[in-house]
Amino acid sequence: MNNKLQKQLLKRSKAAKLERLGKTVSFLALMLITVTVFAIIIFVASKGLSTFFSNHVNVIDFLTGKDWNPNVTNSKGQPEVGVLPMISGSFVVTVLSAILATPFAIGTAIFMTEISPHRGAKILQPVIELLVGIPSVVYGFIGLTVVVPAVRSIFGGSGFGILAGTFVLFVMILPTVTSMSVDALRSVPRYYREAALALGATQWQTIYKVVLRAATPGMLTAIVFGMARAFGEALAVQMVIGNAALLPHSLVSPASTLTSVLTTGIGNTVMGSLQNNALWSLALVLLVMSLIFNLVIRLIGRKGAMSK
Amino acid sequence: MSPKTSNQIAISMLYVIASTIVVILAALLGYIIISGLPAISWHFLTSPARAFTSGGGVGIQLFNSFYLLILTMLISFPIALGAGIYLNEYAKQNWVTALVRSAIEILSSLPSVVVGLFGFLIFVVQFGFGFSILSGAFALTFFNLPLLTRSIEEALAAVPDAQREGGLALGLSKWETVLHIIVPAALPAILTGVILSAGRIFGEAAALIFTAGQSAPALNFTDWNPFNMASPLNPMRPAETLAVHIWKINSEGIMPDAKAISSGASAVLVISVLGFNLLARFVGHRLFKRLTAG
Amino acid sequence: MLINPSSPHSDDGWLERHIVDPSLKSQQPIVLETKQLRVFYGDNEAIHEGDLKFPEHQISALIGPSGSGKSTYLRSLNRMNDGVARVTGEILYRGVDVNRPEIDVYEMRRRIGMVFQRPNPFSKSIYDNITFALKRRGITDKKVLDETVETSLRQAAIWDEVKDKLNKSALALSGGQQQRLCIARAIAVKPDILLLDEPASALDPVSTGKLEETLLKLKKDYTIIIVTHNMQQAARISDFTAFFNMGRALEFDETSQIFTSPKVQLTNNYVAGDFG
């Protein structure tokens, strides 16, 4: 046995020490992110739940109440913190903007992948990247100066409301949904198309009956992603929706969303007060919805993977 | 209708839709630039805002946006780099990794207003940083980390394994190999990711209104001692950014020229983001060439 | 009596297995030896019973059809399979078993270097490619570094081609030059043994010729173990040859023996070009 060599080989080298250090440091960085996520969930939940545990507001009343007036107590001696107007406002703008954006997004995605890949790459790809890059306050500002007056002159009223919010969100989620749909269509194998075309199908028949079917899970994911973005968007919507905490009764009357009430309200309330806690409950609703969107995307992904 | 006719109709419809998107972008950009450019002047870009009278600028807000961007990057880049390295180089395929990946995904899809509220709760209130650049930078760090981590991870994954083996076979540790060979090789892609996320940070407002604050106290641009309250470098001062300023004056601004200022500020914001985009492309191409060719 | 076709005692004179101890045939001491080496990918056993001994300052070639396990075997020798596969058994490097968890794998790899199938220079200058590992080990003296660069590049027979462009990117070199640069990079850290995994498979015939010349010169300073799918190459440069098939080293002997009078029938078929 070679003792000197054995000793040299058993000694921990500088490389071994660096390896241990590096692995630990990078692991800690990763853990920092993970812990932050759990911290966000825990903190927002504990603040948001205190409306129900400290202020004893009934959860059902909270979710179904139609009046949002945290400073006023109602006939039952409870503060008026019904969030139905905001929740319905959020859902209505989200669903409407998704309905509006879907045909445009999928149409453009088909154009980019199936009809004219060259122009898709040269013109539409940069267009979509630029649309993603425009900050949301700029969308809000344009909504305020262009969309709201346009809605006002066509439909009357103040112009602020669900419709203006829908238009702004439509443009904002369009690039996200489009680029994810493009990915979904690109992942459909080439031979699917070739097989259909070889059977004598027209290009549109091939797209409609073969390519779109195969890409359905991916495109559903894209739409849900767009909806998650629309649901969580704050400032652009807040600038055009009118900020009246009323149940929306028409598309052109002022309304509000969870995010719009949060952004305008949190600065004007005192920490720990019921008014403030109620706003944190709104944030919690927003957080839970975001988790639900995440879950839905995951379920679609799993189902898509199974059907393949 | 024969299949041939419906084919024709469908394809023409697709042309119409695709053109509509191009028109929407052109109209948006055209509107922003045309309505904004007349407002932009040297005076506008350098002088402080005025609350009640017209003629104010966005100088302080512009400085704040850049300072906040730099601070955010200084905090988030090392964390994202570490996390990206661990995920791509060390993480085994097990439930812990799956959980971590889900957490990152959740963070990336959280509404930025929720991230901002969390930052408010922790940094502004709990840690007592108040409305400050530092609170804002931490909030933006949370906002930035998931995407930056993902782009760094992808950049590292694109470097061939042969490079890793090359380092290991010389008796170097995996960590040294990654830090000194893989990261430099992935640098063009990493920088592209950094610059693109810089554009996102630059335009973000919702996460800032309750962290960095909505006021821009006057700054003394001759005082560079970060401990003085009027110093531009003081990280503990409230700092309204350009994006927050646009939101603020449109929500509750009372200066007579609010619209002109918003137009100008929007144009500055959009031009900056476009600049970041172009820079990202340029840097990616240029560095890639320099690294591969003699 | 029924004759079992797979019986080891076949009547035609072939052996089932024939592993020679090189110390019986050469004066050189043994520097590397494997005992009961087995490699597992998950539950699949890729190598079983690779018991070979490699003599100092000689070139040993590992040949065999693709999938025979020769590359897996080679990569296990300096534990490049750590984290990829499970390796059991002993790897005795100058008498020390290095296949133990308490061995410092980095110091071991410094002594047992490796060159890969595809040239993998770092995207750095030629100079930095050579000095990189030295600098990481704390050698910063410019004179020492300059000297090492020159001697390593000279030993790898590429000095004359690159001496005027040491600060140019290594990626601008041709494939053959890149591979010799990788050899220079490997010997810059002063290893004892060089493992080469099909180093010429991505090269043209002229570059291959230069590479082989280089290896023949290197063997006076280093022990070389080379995996090759090119039998002529093994015949041209190696002193000993091992034939692998289905995860087993079937025959190991002097190269001349393997190519002129193999003792195992499969070896004979393989070197005759019947399969592979």
Tell me the CATH number at C213: 3.40.50.300
Task: State whether A294 and B109 contact (CB < 8 Å).
Answer: yes
Q: pLDDT-based confidence at C1, cuts 50/70/90?
A: very low
pLDDT profile of chain A (308 residues), mean per 10 = 83 91 96 96 93 84 83 73 90 96 95 89 87 91 93 89 94 94 92 90 90 92 95 93 84 89 84 86 94 94 70
Q: Which residue of C has its CA nearest to A11?
A: C104
Are B97 and B62 part of one and the same domain? yes
Task: State whether C96 and A9 contact (CB < 8 Å).
Answer: yes
Residues of A in contact with C107 (CB under 8 A): 8-9, 11, 13, 15
CB-defined contacts A:C, below 8 A: 37
User: What's the pLDDT at B294?
Assistant: 42
Task: State whether B169 and C107 contact (CB < 8 Å).
Answer: no
Tally of structural domains, chain B? 2
Q: Tell me the pLDDT tens digit for each residue of C186-227.
A: 999 999 999 999 999 888 899 899 899 999 999 999 999 999
CB proximity list for C75: less than 8 A, separation 6 or greater: C81, C114, C195, C197
Residues of B in contact with A93 (CB under 8 A): none
Are B144 and B228 part of one and the same domain? yes
Q: Find which of C94, C98, C103, C140 to mutate to test the A interface (most A CBs within 10 Å of its CB).
A: C94
Which amino acid is present at B50?
R
Tokens coding B250 = 């449109």
Whether chain B has a CB inside 8 Å of the CB on A290: the answer is yes
- Match 């001759």 to its residue by tokens: B222
Q: From CA A168, how far away is CA A144, in angstroms rounded? A: 9
C-alpha distances (whole Å) from B7 to each of A46, A147, A192, B10, B14 are 57, 35, 18, 5, 11
Average pLDDT of chain B to the nearest whole number: 90
Tally of structural domains, chain C? 1
Are B131 and B275 part of one and the same domain? yes
Work out the minimum CA distance from A33 to partner chain C, whole angstroms: 26
Q: Is residue C1 part of a domain?
A: no
Task: State whether C80 and B168 contact (CB < 8 Å).
Answer: yes
Q: Which residue of B has its CA nearest to A264?
A: B251
Q: Tell me the pLDDT tens digit for each residue of B154-190.
A: 999 999 999 999 999 999 999 999 999 999 999 989 9
Tokens coding B222 = 């001759």
Q: Which residue of C has its CA nearest to B290?
A: C169
DSSP C15: B
User: What's the pLDDT at A156?
Assistant: 81
User: What's the pLDDT at C255?
Assistant: 94
Q: For domain A81-307, is the CATH number 1.10.10.350?
A: no
Tokens coding C160 = 């004359």
Task: State whether A14 and C137 contact (CB < 8 Å).
Answer: yes
Give the CATH number of the domain where residue B244 resides: 1.10.3720.10
Q: From CA A126, how far away is CA A109, in angstroms rounded? A: 13
Q: Comparing B142-146, B283-287, C80-84, C236-240, which segment has the lowest mean pLDDT?
A: B283-287
User: What's the pLDDT at A306?
Assistant: 62
Nearest to B82 among A25, A103, A294 (CB): A25
Q: Find which of B96, B149, B175 to mutate to test the A interface (most A CBs within 10 Å of its CB).
A: B175
Work out the minimum CA distance from C252 to partner chain B, whole angstroms: 26
- Match 């409301």 to its residue by tokens: A161
Percent pLDDT > 70 in chain B is 97
Task: State whether C78 and B169 contact (CB < 8 Å).
Answer: yes
Residues of B in contact with C80 (CB under 8 A): 165, 168-169
Task: State whether A15 and C94 contact (CB < 8 Å).
Answer: no
DSSP lists the bridge partners of residue C93 as C32, C96
Give exposure, C60-79, as e/b (b: 16+ Cβ within 10 Å). Answer: bbbbbbeebbbbbbbbbbbb
Q: Find which of A9, A14, A17, A21 to mutate to test the C interface (most C CBs within 10 Å of its CB).
A: A9
SS3 C224: strand
Residue A156 phi, psi (nearest 5): 80, -170
Neighbour subunits, C (≥3 Cβ pairs < 8 A): A, B
Whether chain B has a CB inside 8 Å of the CB on C75: the answer is no
Q: At what angle do helices C205-218 and C142-155 cross, to 10 degrees?
A: 120
Average pLDDT of chain C to the nearest whole number: 90
User: What's the pLDDT at B53?
Assistant: 72
Work out the minimum CA distance from B228 to partner chain A, whole angstroms: 27
3-state SS, one letter per residue, for chain B: CCHHHHHHHHHHHHHHHHHHHHHHHHHHHHHHHHHHHHHCCHHHHHCCCCCCCCCCCCHHHHHHHHHHHHHHHHHHHHHHHHHHHHHHHHCCCCHHHHHHHHHHHHHHHCCHHHHHHHHHHHHHHHCCCCCCHHHHHHHHHHHHHHHHHHHHHHHHHCCCHHHHHHHHHCCCCHHHHHHHHHHHHCHHHHHHHHHHHHHHHHHCCCCCCCCCCCCCCCCCCCCCCCCCCCCCCCCCCCCCCHHHHHHHHHHHCCCCCHHHHHHHHHHHHHHHHHHHHHHHHHHHHHHHHHHHCC
Are B14 and B114 part of one and the same domain? no
| First vs last C-alpha separation in chain C | 34
Residues of C in contact with B171 (CB under 8 A): 106-111, 113, 133, 137, 189
Tokens coding B96 = 């812990």
Task: State whether A2 and C137 contact (CB < 8 Å).
Answer: no
Q: Find which of C106, C135, C136, C192 to mutate to test the A interface (most A CBs within 10 Å of its CB).
A: C106
Q: Does the pLDDT at position C7 exceed 50?
A: no
Region C141-162: mean pLDDT is 93
Q: Is residue C109 part of a domain?
A: yes
Whether chain B has a CB inside 8 Å of the CB on C186: the answer is yes
Nearest to B14 among A110, A178, A263 (CB): A110
Q: With contact defined as beta carbons under 8 Å apart, do A111 and A211 qualify?
A: no
Q: Is residue C59 part of a domain?
A: yes
Tokens coding B225 = 């001692």
Are B98 and B230 part of one and the same domain? yes
Q: Tell me the pLDDT tens digit for each residue of A22-55.
A: 999 999 999 999 999 999 999 999 999 988 888 8
Residues of B in contact with C107 (CB under 8 A): 171
Are B89 and B146 part of one and the same domain? yes
Using a CB–CB cut-off of 8 Å, the residues of B that contact C are 160, 162-163, 165-173, 176, 180-181, 184-185, 291-294
User: What's the pLDDT at B290?
Assistant: 65
DSSP C45: E
Which amino acid is present at B17?
I
Task: State whether B14 and A32 contact (CB < 8 Å).
Answer: no
Residues of A in contact with C31 (CB under 8 A): none
Q: Does the pLDDT at position C8 exceed 60?
A: no
Task: State whether A9 and C98 contact (CB < 8 Å).
Answer: yes
Q: With contact defined as beta carbons under 8 Å apart, do C32 and C225 qualify?
A: yes
Q: Find which of B15, B68, B118 to mutate to test the A interface (most A CBs within 10 Å of its CB).
A: B118
Q: Tell me the pLDDT tens digit for each residue of B66-100.
A: 999 999 999 999 999 999 999 999 999 899 999 99
Domain ranges, residue C69 = 19-271
Q: With contact defined as beta carbons under 8 Å apart, do B258 and B249 qualify?
A: yes
Q: Tell me the pLDDT tens digit for each residue of B243-278.
A: 999 999 888 766 778 888 889 999 999 999 889 888
Region B49-55: mean pLDDT is 74
Q: Tell me the pLDDT tens digit for each residue of A6-17.
A: 888 888 888 999
Domain ranges, residue B137 = 42-292
User: What's the pLDDT at C6?
Assistant: 43
Q: Tell me the pLDDT tens digit for each residue of C16-54.
A: 888 989 888 878 899 999 999 999 988 888 887 778 999
> Which of B:233-272 have CB within 8 Å of A?
243-244, 246-247, 250-251, 259, 262-263, 266, 269-270
- Match 């534990």 to its residue by tokens: C79
Task: State whether C106 and B292 contact (CB < 8 Å).
Answer: no
Nearest to B266 among A141, A201, A207 (CB): A141
Percent pLDDT > 90 in chain B is 65
> Which of C:236-265 have CB within 8 Å of A?
none
User: What's the pLDDT at A63?
Assistant: 86
